Structure 1
Amino acid sequence: MSEGISKQLVLPKGSGFGVKNGALDKDAFRKVVTVLAAKVAPEKAGVLLKAPALKRSLIDVPKVKSVARGPDQDKLVLLKYSDQADLIEDAVQFLRSQAAELVPHELVFDYDYWSADDVIHAILPEELEEGAPSGFAVVGHIAHMNLRPEYLPYKHIIGQVVLDKNPSVRTVVNKLDNIVDQFRVFKMELLAGEPDFVVTQSENDCKFTFDFREVYWNSRLHHEHERLIEQFKTEDVIADVFAGVGPFAIPAAKKGCGVLANDLNPSSYKYLTVNISDNKVGSLVRPFCEDGREFIRQAFNRAWDDPLAPVPQRKQRRTELKEIRAGERPAPPVGPRRNRISHFVMNLPDTAILFLDAFRGVLSPAIAGERDLSGLYAEATMPMIHTHCFTRELEPEKAEADIRQRVEEKIGHPLGADTVYHWVRSVAPQKEMYCVSFRLPYAVAYAS
């Protein structure tokens, strides 16, 4: 017995199909397939669809509806065969009992029918087909690809396919090199779509606007952002050393935290201030644009000299506001301003560990001056430091040992037993990303 029309609905793989004069030829992907259809009165269509005798004969092609409109008021129940001889006898007898007339029906499968993978596997030559690119990251309306060199001759065709097959994508770009500058950005080229690189990205109930060419953003870190933010308490003050456009800072402020947020990249700082305003957390986040070491050294003094806003009050219900105005209920007391930093976030995995030496002596008179911060920062109340980093060690025990050795070398002190090493993601075949979280040692902070 025939398997139906499924075998006709495939594109040739690794054949350079659908490319004409170096461009995508969409007309080449058009296929017309004739199937059998059972023409019945509208009220009988449901009977045929539910009939056990037809269960193995109904059309089973993705994205094709089982019932089509026929001439006059009739319905066409589509079958998966082109030839009546392929129908089993039970199906034939059932159709006769229902006075169904078998008629031919044309199905048109054009370029829009095929998936991006179908098209890309067809257009590439045989030697490139097996490892054909299919994945990409989406940032706002931009699809960001990282094509290997052997696929670059087909980059614009691949970009066009990605654009065509993803309605939310308006711009497709390709990464040109590794992140090499101090601002963690890379060069990119436009493959297809609009040359519009300013995006709006939603994450953790916040909206972030930025120019993807000018700042660092990695959508794959969404869960890491969420993980750390869950550790922050509403009353905490957070110092974000490499804040970017605010993926840690702004959701933390939405939670009620006070935040000192810094980034050396002027473009990141620009969009950080935009996002602070757009997300209405201006009273809780203070942005800075300076070197990470200088920010670390000044953060404690800044929080002491100009404490951050109190924890936001719960929004009063209408009846409560009415009672307060009438003097029937006292207004809720305003909490104290906050001057103790609870957490430092250092999300610059390539070099963050190198900045840890800035914590040496950060609470000593040499930096704190005449401020007596010892009442705020005792052994048990020192801030937690969350440092993202890379390691070439693939085994967890070896990775932790490598990270510990590098951190202790920079701070000049052993890490405590409560230090946590959290695996974040695999970046490359021999490159893992971790976050090491430890309490700033008292002896380090007060070192002379």
Structure 2
Amino acid sequence: MSEGISKQLVLPKGSGFGVKNGALDKDAFRKVVTVLAAKVAPEKAGVLLKAPALKRSLIDVPKVKSVARGPDQDKLVLLKYSDQADLTEDAVQFLRSQAAELVPHELVFDYDYWSTDDVIHAILPKELEEGAPSGFAVVGHIAHMNLRPEYLPYKHIIGQVVLDKNPSVTTVVNKLDNIVDQFRVFKMELLAGEPDFVVTQSENDCKFTFDFREVYWNSRLHHEHERLIEQFKTEDVIADVFAGVGPFAIPAAKKGCGVLANDLNPSSYKYLTVNISDNKVGSLVRPFCEDGREFIRQAFNRAWDDPLAPVPQRKQRRTELKEIRAGERPAPPVGPRRNRISHFVMNLPDTAILFLDAFRGVLSPAIAGERDLSGLYAEATMPMIHTHCFTRELEPEKAEADIRQRVEEKIGHPLGADTVYHWVRSVAPQKEMYCVSFRLPYAVAYAS
């Protein structure tokens, strides 16, 4: 009796298999397996595949088709055994009734057949196999890994495997340290592929171009970007304090919002302007490159002094247009420019809360000067502030209490009962990311 083909296709794990002189030996992964095949006329192949007598004998190996072409245009229905003695008596009798001839057939499995995990688990020594790295983030054509120190001796081999197994990836990098730069970027090293770090990433029906070494981008925040953008109304004006290359600003503008978008990082500002142009939202987004605190203090005045473009008529929601046509609501004035900010987005989770003190007195004469903004910003029309932050508290109630205490300390005022604490994701075993959304208190904005 022979062992089934599935058992023959198991690579040894934790054995340092496939590594030769410190490099990946792809030839080591080549396996040739001989199986039985039932040779029949082409019109009978389907009969064999559906036969109950052969159900447990047909080949069941991933990525291997059940039927191959024979040398004389006959069809070969592949079985999962190499020895006829492994077939059941029912299977043998059925094959005879169909005039099927049992012949040997070679299957070749080379390096390309095996998955990323198969290869990585094989090449590592036993003591490292259990926690073998398998996950990575993809940004454009770059695969980004975060290897633990014990795997660094194998980093280039691991990088080569990831490159080989992912056709859309042409560059593989490894993060070298935590984000410590004020611009939220980290150093990285090239593990495999081309040293090309300028990527194009699609998200929320928008295209973003940037140098991955010079700006912050996290594909895991895709749903968070989408969640907030869904809260914006077409007619809103958004002030994005830490805009990066535009993952909030550009889709909001695509929706029809007017946007003031700021980032202190010159590279982020550079690619923000590129993305504004590429996505054709230049009339709706105004980019800035300045300190976040200064941007907050000037945003209200800028929107008043130079109102943003009106809502593009094609961006009006279908439901709004239906209501207007039915006479259920009045048609909006044609082309009104927008001068009231509805939302502030503060996506700098490490330090965003520290910037909230910039809202103290932001509408007072000390900052607003002679502008009378009280008609725009009454108690019920103050802008919403969406502040991303980290907390070490893992229980939701404790996390909310921690965030509330820190926010109230900075703005100098209690948060309202309608404040929302939204869990975004776990960043580390003892580190959670949240977004706290609250309406700017009237007393804070007009404080002396």
- Per the TM superposition, whether the score is higher than 0.5 is yes
Give the match's secondary structure for 1:161.
helix
| 1:306 CA displacement | 0.1
Q: 1:331 to 1:235 in 2, by over 3 A?
A: closer
Stretch moving more, 317-326 or 394-403? 317-326
Give, in whole Å, the separation in 2 of the partners of 1:324 and 1:133.
56
State how many pairs are aligned.
448
Q: Quick one: structure 1 residues 74 and 389, their matched pair in 2 at CA, closer, same or farther if it must change by over 3 Å? A: same
Matched residues in 2 for 1:296 and 1:391: separation? 24
- Report how far residue 334 of structure 1 moved: 2.5
Say if 2:2 and 2:83, in contact at 8 Å, map to a contact too: no
Partner in structure 1 of residue 380 of structure 2: 380
Alpha-carbon distance change, 326 to 252 in structure 1, aligned in 2, over 3 angstroms? closer
Report how far residue 68 of structure 1 moved: 0.4
C-alpha separation between the residues in 1 aligned to 2:118 and 2:69?
Answer: 29
1:355-393: CA deviations, max 9, x gaps? Answer: 000000000000000000011001100000000000000
Q: CA, structure 1 residues 330+371, in 2 after alignment: closer, same or farther (shift >3 Å)?
A: closer
Deviation of 1:425 (Å): 0.2
Deviations 1:278-331 (A, max 9, x none): 000000000000000000000000000000000001289999999999999999
Contact 2:234–2:316, Cα closer than 8 Å, also in 1: no
Distance 2:268 2:299 in 1: 19
Partner residue of 1:96? 96
In structure 2, the residue corresponding to 1:268 is in which secondary structure?
Answer: helix
Alpha-carbon distance in structure 2 between the residues aligned to 1:243 and 1:127 = 44
CA separation of 1:435/1:25 partners in 2, compared to 1, >3 Å: closer, same or farther?
same
Structure 1 residues 298 and 195, CA gap change in structure 2 (3 angstroms): same
| Displacement of 1:333 | 6.0
After superposition, the Cα gap between the structure-2 partners of 1:332 and 1:143, relative to the gap in structure 1 and judged at 3 Å, is same
5+ residue gaps in structure 2? none
What CA deviation, in whole Å up to 9, does each residue of 1:221-266 have, x standing for no partner?
A: 0000000000000000000000000000000000000000000000
Aligned to 1:3: 3
Tell me: CA distance 1:216–1:319, structure 2 relative to 1, closer, same or farther (3 Å). Answer: closer
For structure 1, the 5+ residue unaligned runs are none
* Cα distance in 2 between the residues matched to 1:425 and 1:119: 30
Distance in 2 (alpha carbons) for counterparts of 1:404 and 1:414: 8
Cα separation, partners in 2 of 1:17 and 1:354, compared to 1, 3 Å: same
* 320 and 177 in structure 1: CA distance in 2 versus 1, 3 angstrom threshold: closer
- Cα distance in structure 2, aligned partners of 1:351 and 1:327: 48
Label 1:354 to 1:332 Cα distance change in 2 as closer, same or farther (>3 A): closer
For 2:357 and 2:321, locate their aligned partners in 1 and report how far apart those are by CA, in whole Å.
50
Which secondary structure does the structure 1 equivalent of 2:315 belong to? coil
Deviation of residue 335 (structure 1)?
2.5
* Separation in 2, partners of 1:371, 1:170: 54
State the distance in 2 between where 1:179 and 1:422 align.
23
1:447: Cα distance to partner? 0.6
Q: Which residue of 2 aligns with 1:208?
A: 208
Instruction: Note the C-alpha offset of 1:71.
Output: 1.2
Change (3 A) 1:164 1:244: same
Q: CA deviation at 1:3?
A: 5.9
1:444–1:37 Cα change, 3 Å:
same
> d(CA) in 2 for partners of 1:349 and 1:316?
33
CA deviations 1:65-109 (Å, max 9, x no partner) are 000010111110000000000000000000000000000000000
Query: Compared with structure 1, are the counterparts of its residues 318 and 369 closer, same or farther at alpha carbon in structure 2 (3 Å cutoff)?
Result: closer
Separation in 2 of the partners of 1:409 and 1:403?
10
Cα-to-partner distance string for 1:172-197 (whole Å, 9 max, x where unaligned):
00000000011000000000001100
Change beyond 3 A, Cα 1:340–1:332: closer
Q: Cα–Cα, structure 1 residues 302 and 319, in superposed 2: closer, same or farther, change >3 Å? A: closer
Q: Structure 1 residues 9, 327: CA separation in 2 closer, same or farther (over 3 Å shift)? A: closer
Per-residue deviation, 1:39: 0.5
> Could you say what secondary structure the match of 1:138 adopts?
strand
Does residue 441 of structure 2 align to residue 446 of structure 1?
no
The answer for the alignment partner of 2:174 in structure 1 is 174
CA-CA distance at 1:4 after TM superposition: 1.8
Cα distance in structure 1, aligned partners of 2:325 and 2:32: 74
Q: Percent identity?
A: 99
Q: Secondary structure at the match of 1:314?
A: helix
Classify 1:320/1:6 alpha carbon distance in 2 versus 1 (closer, same or farther; 3 Å): closer
Change in CA separation of 1:329 and 1:279 when aligned onto 2, cut-off 3 Å: same
> Residues 308 and 123 of structure 1: is their aligned pair in 2 closer, same or farther, counting only changes over 3 Å?
same
In structure 2, the residue corresponding to 1:105 is in which secondary structure? strand
Cα deviation digits, residues 138-175 of structure 1 (max 9, x gap): 00010000000000000000000000001110100000
Given that 2:2 and 2:82 are in contact with CA atoms closer than 8 Å, whether structure 1 keeps it comes out as: no
| SS of structure 1 residue aligned to 2:443 | helix
Alpha-carbon separation, structure 1, partners of 2:187 and 2:219: 18
Report the 3-state secondary structure (helix = DSSP H, G, I; strand = E; otherwise coil) of the residue aligned with 1:158: helix
Residue 326 to residue 27, structure 1, CA distance change in 2 (3 Å):
same
Determine helix, strand or coil for the equivalent of 2:154. helix
- Alignment of 1:330 with 2:325, yes or no, is no
Bigger Cα displacement from structure 2, 3-12 vs 331-340: 331-340
The 5 A counterparts of 1:300-311 are: 300-311=300-311
State TM-score, norm by structure 2. Answer: 0.96
